[in-house]
Amino acid sequence: MPENGSQTEVTRRVMLRGAAVSGVALPLLAACGDDPETAETPAGGTSAEPDGGASPSGGGESGVLASTSDIPVGGGQIIKDRQIVVTQPAEGDFKAFTAVCTHQQCTVTSVQDGIIQCPCHGSQFSVEDGSVQGGPAPAPLEEIPITVEGSTITLA
């Protein structure tokens, strides 16, 4: 009988140790999360949705994506919650693409100097047409139809 009792006690110890480690580790891991409201990409592009970016209906597939003044020429802005990247290849010319890399479906993280960058394996895409400029991506980023009215960029 003592053997069974000691095995039960060891199991309890292991369980308590696991609970203690989980109680410390989980909050620390949660603190490592990505806050899209403060994330920025190099060269002035941001990965956060601009103020007023949600549609009046509270999100969904339609609504405002960005303001034209938020999109630098030769760069862009990544709207993470919509998985869309909006670019301005030339002054006044705006494009939108899926922000999901065609290689292994990572989300692109920066737009600068005419290139949309995927951090996972180094794929690069053109801000002009989403075409592959380098890396292992097998296909271009899918273009998303947008409308520009005044200084507002919306899904078409």
Domain containing 149 — which CATH number? 2.102.10.10
Same structural domain, 136 and 87? yes
**Residue linked to tokens 């020429």:** 73
Q: Looking at the structure, tell me whether residues 61 and 114 fall in a common domain.
A: yes
Rounded to the nearest 5 percent, the helix, strand and coil shares of the chain are 25, 30, 45
Whether residue 46 is found in the same domain as residue 89: yes
pLDDT of residue 16: 52
Q: What is the SS3 assignment for 84?
A: strand
The whole-number pLDDT of residue 63 equals 85
Residue of 75, 73, 81, 61 whose CA lies nearest to 144: 61
According to DSSP, the residues that pair with 131 across neighbouring strands are none
> Are residues 60 and 93 located together in one domain of the fold?
yes
CB 43 within 8 A of CB 13: no
Instruction: Tell me the two tokens of residue 82.
Output: 């919509």
Which residue positions in the chain have pLDDT lower than 50? 2-3, 6, 8, 10, 21, 24-61
C-alpha span between 95 and 8 (Å, rounded): 64
Q: Are residue 2 and residue 61 in the same domain, yes or no?
A: no
Do 29 and 59 lie in a common domain? no
Q: Let me know whether 59 and 128 are in one domain.
A: yes
DSSP category for residue 31: H
pTM, two decimal places: 0.63
| Domains contained in the chain, number | 2
Residues 70 and 1 occupy one common structural domain: no
Structural domain that includes position 13: 1-33
* 91 phi and psi angles, rounded to 5 deg: -50, 120
Asked if residues 86 and 77 have their Cβ atoms less than 8 Å apart, the reply is yes
Report the distance separating Cα 22 and Cα 130, nearest Å. Answer: 43
Give me the pLDDT at residue 18, please. Answer: 56
Could you tell me if 16 and 67 lie in one domain? no
Q: Is there a contact between 65 and 96 (Cβ–Cβ < 8 Å)? A: yes
Position 19 scores a pLDDT of: 52
Do residues 147 and 72 share a domain?
Answer: yes
Write down the pLDDT at residue 96.
Answer: 98
Task: Give the pair of three-digit tokens for residue 11.
Answer: 């199991």
- The pLDDT assigned to 117 comes to 98
Same domain, 78 and 146: yes
Q: Are residues 79 and 50 in the same domain?
A: yes
Q: Which residues pair with 111 in a beta bridge?
A: 116
Question: What pLDDT does residue 37 have?
Answer: 33
